[in-house]
Amino acid sequence: MRNLIKFGCLCSNSSDRLFHFHLSKFQICLLSSLPRSSFKLSQPKKTTQDTQSKNPAETSTFSLLFNEIKEILGADSFTADGTQSGISISKDIHERDAEVKEEHPHRTEGVCGNAEDGILQEKDYVLALEDTQLGNLGGNDVSPEVHKITQIVRAENGLVSMEEQLEKLSVWFDSEVVEKVLKRCFKVPHLSLRFFNWVKLRDGFRHTTKTYNTMLSIAGEAREFQLVEKLVEEMEKNSCEKDIKTWTIIISLYGNAKLISKALLAFENMRKCGCEPDAQVYKKMIRALCSAGKADIAIEFYKEMNQKGVVVDVGLYKMLMDCMARSGDTAAVRTVADDMMRVCQIPEHNVYGCVLKSLCISGRIREALEWIRELKSKDVTLDPEYFETLVKGLCRADRIADALEIVNIMKRRHLVDGKVYGIIINGYLKRNNVSKALDLFQCMKESGHMPMTSTYTELMQRLFRLGEYEKGCVIYNEMLERGVKPDTVAITAMVAGHVSQNRVSEAWKVFKSMEDRGIKPTWKSYSVFIKELCKVSRTDEIFKALNEMQASKIDIRDEIFDGILSYMEKKGELDSIEKVKRMQTICKLYPQEGELPSTDASGEQKLKLELNSIQSEAVRIDCHLMEPPTKNHDEQDLHEVCRILSSSTDWCLIQEALENCNIQFTPDLVVEILRNCNMHGSAALHFFSWLGKQSGYSHTTETYNTAIKLAGRGKDFKHMRHLFYEMRRGGCSITSDTWTIMIMQYGRTGLTEIALNIFGEMKVDGCKPNGSSYKYLIISLCRRKGRKVDEAIKIFEEMLHEGYIPDKELVENYLGCLCEVGRLLDARRCADSLRRVGFAIPLSHSLYVRALCQAGRVEEAQALVDEVGAEAEGSILDKYTYGSLVHGLLQKGRMEEALAKVDSLKQAGISPTVHVYTSLMAHFMKGNQIERALEIFQKMQQEGCQPTVVTYTELVRGYMNMGKVAEAWNIFHRMKLKGPLPDFKSYSVFITSLCKIGRSEEALQLISEMIDSGIVPSTVNFREVFYGLNREGKQDLARTVLEQKSALRSKRKFLT
């Protein structure tokens, strides 16, 4: 129990301090548990050749041990039974799990009937929210009432409030009806809470334990922990009894969020209330502790379970065993193994296999070998699945050479199959040794072994990622020809490969083949498909995929919508953004049935979301397939490390906190930490350097790339180059992405000469530039700061010659630059060349027209529109083309012509875009015509055109130009409260305007707000405020501006 006491130091806030007080009794009641062993293993290490060489003695002893194990495994006395790949283990274990309750009737399943309603049986508390049949068996059928109420609650009609509609219903609100309505509204927690609060005020109604339990589950699902605490307090205040399900829900939701102190406090409070924990409570508590890596506390709970005779299922045994192995507590591993055999009566060889697997999974290879030696000394028959487990563990530990020696022994015993080969191939792929993986792949086929689906899939994914599209296709076709059935992952990988080459029709054909094979596409398959479509800017196909998901009743998760919206915002596809947001709202309100609000009778109510914006065709940016990112890290760990890094500017204090945080760092976690610490680059880069020196951890190419990017964003180019050279010395692979990041960071600050040199170094180094390399170099060369037009033209032509197709963002920047400097012949040549690489003719014309208008060349733009007008034939592109013309005319002060263009748009049945309305507003504001500007603002909202951050920024600019400072502040505050949130441009416009009229102190406030919001102020922002304060005689405040700038610089740069 010493570790329970130590765990108290993790608690820092007031609620955690309260935990210390409540935990004391819990500690006392567990101190009588069985004594725990103090024997600890060494920390697990990534065993690479480099780490081995650091300790020759340790390497020597390991080699001796490994040779001994080889002799044991290769001995003639070895007996191979029929068990293959651990199948018998899982089968026997599940059979024993089903029988254990019958054989041990004295071991109670629960104290208070927690399993009565099936809540929390599968995915923690989610089943409490399931939309089950609403008929009440043996009682009144409340389905019609529940359906009526649910429709009102989820509709969220803006004209008539939910509460008013509910009041008009002639329905009896009893606890059963309320509980079922809440379950149907679990995906809209804010509406569920409104209904929950409204119904409790009705005469004659009182919430029951069941309704509170359901509301607690909803709050937990939404991670609204303050609401959870409020609901618990409300139950106590209303004398509503908390049953075993209540406590299980609370413990489970805190445990899932890794709020261990709160989960332990809830466990103690449950006991104080006289409610004894049952098997479900213990299971949730132990699961949370194991997930959080609190092995010492988990084993104490387990011992208490045993003492009370509570049944432990096999899944919990295995989870505990894995956790104990990760912590290095071999005594605890043995204890759990003994109990599996004694209580569950699982055969010895199966339990021994589980121990070996736990040790291998946790990276304890030495201990795994010692375990095999111990089994042999006991004359335990070594089953074939032990070989496979050991091979997998050795590959995980980067000991492929050792794994191959075990495989050779297996070959002599005729134990090698496709799965074993697949493990080795996977090990090679993880080391980026594709050539050896392919050689072994060929060897296994020649040996007569059939590759598994997963092996084909992993090879395809890696080949696509390396830009080897044809080879990936060959692998997929071979899989089909050999009769190996592709699964969802394999098909999705092939789909992603096709999309990466902009072969979307072929991708759809492969995707549809799932149904022919009896496979139902999952949300994950669609997610990967959509992410790849975003990369190649195929907006129309994205909507097609969304519509198919909706038609198939597949839940479209927020992460899918967020990815799509991020892509569309970058592309400026504002109309599409609004449609996606409406679809997201409807999916939240109608998560299961897929129904739509009956209040909207317009043509858009079916929300089929056909594309009504520019068809962005053939705009592929990169040839290599980036595998969809997966979250291989814990969000709680991420937030904790980011909190530590931002807590101080003293690295010694930060280092001390990191050393005490007990977090296992992985490359995936490190990448996310660096991405989230843009404003604290100095601390993050020190953390990166410190972590690279820790035993058991090695940086990867991706972590170095992220660190290089972070240093560059802080303009710390010296350290950026240092990281690059360190990366090379350490043997990490220098990829085209590494070079591209450095090109981008130099280019964005105007150091284009250096960016060009880096591009040259990249080629000399033998690294072929990819689409991103060309894109960011050309964009940098086209910027006003560091502009080099001739070089941009040369590299753009080289990009096309190499077969890379520019995306819309690149074309806009390139054409804009050429038009701005008067290189119209080159611009026209560029527009013509776009058609040859797959851009639609209207799209190439539209981009050229917009570039001309932005450069102030309205006459040339109009002439081009007249020249190609017949080709467009009323295309939807016209509204963007004419929108650019309207903007250009207004900039030239040609108001009447601009309004005529708007009228012609309307006569053609095309609604003006938000871009047109914003341009008109800005023009009227500039002319001090505030009434007309506000009239335009109202009109655009009435026509369903939502203002953007640019619209509100122009309102702020307009009010400031007219001296209406209070109105400007109102708009700005409105943006922060209701959105869209101010961006860098919004702050910059407001700061400039305030400094011009002698209100620099307010501008200084905005500088602080920018930093707090994670937006980095520019040198110009600091300079304007500094000069403004000096002009106003506020020299002391002006000095604070310099201090702020210096502090921000030191926070972002690696200063020693």
Strand partners, 108: 310
Give residue 650's pLDDT.
86
CA distance linking residue 683 with residue 642, whole number of Å: 10
Residue positions counted in the chain: 1056
Contact 433, 453 (CB under 8 A): no
Contacts of 699 by beta carbon, 8 Å cutoff, 6+ apart: 667, 670, 688, 691, 692, 707, 727, 730, 732
- pLDDT computed for residue 301 by the predictor: 87
Residues 6+ apart with CB under 8 A from 140: none
**3-state DSSP assignment of residue 1031:** helix
Cα separation values, 566 from 570, 574, 576, 806, 812, Å: 6, 11, 12, 19, 19
Contact 231, 265 (CB under 8 A): no
* Per-residue confidence (pLDDT) for residue 187, from 0 to 100: 77
Beta bridge partners of 310: 108
What is the per-residue burial (b if ≥16 Cβ within 10 Å, else e) of 284-304? bbbbbbbbbbbbbbbbbbbbb
Residue 571's nearest CA partner among 810, 745, 771 is 810
d(C-alpha 654, C-alpha 104), whole Å: 52
> What pLDDT score was predicted for residue 796?
92
CA count, 13 A, side-chain hemisphere, 1008 = 10
pLDDT of residue 790: 94
Report d(CA 321, CA 368) in Å as an integer.
Answer: 13
What residues contact 682, with CB distance under 8 A and at least 6 apart? 649, 651, 714, 1050, 1051, 1052, 1053, 1054, 1055
Q: Along the chain (1056 residues), what's the average pLDDT of each consecutive run of 10 residues?
A: 40 39 40 34 40 53 69 56 41 46 42 39 41 38 77 68 80 86 84 87 87 90 85 89 90 86 89 86 88 86 83 82 85 84 79 84 80 78 77 82 82 81 87 87 88 91 87 91 90 92 90 88 91 88 89 83 83 77 72 39 32 30 36 75 87 88 87 86 90 88 92 89 90 90 92 93 91 92 92 92 85 91 89 76 79 84 70 48 76 80 71 81 82 84 79 90 90 85 90 92 91 86 91 90 83 67
Pick left, alpha or beta for residue 191 (phi over 0 → left; psi -120 to 50 → alpha; otherwise beta): alpha
Phi, psi of 832 (to 5 degrees): -65, -40
Contacts for 69 with CB less than 8 Å, ≥ 6 apart: 369, 372, 373
C-alpha span between 686 and 601 (Å, rounded): 58
Nearest-angstrom CA–CA distance, 538 and 561: 15
Q: Can you read off the two tokens belonging to residue 436?
A: 């050896």
Cα 862 off chain centre by: 45
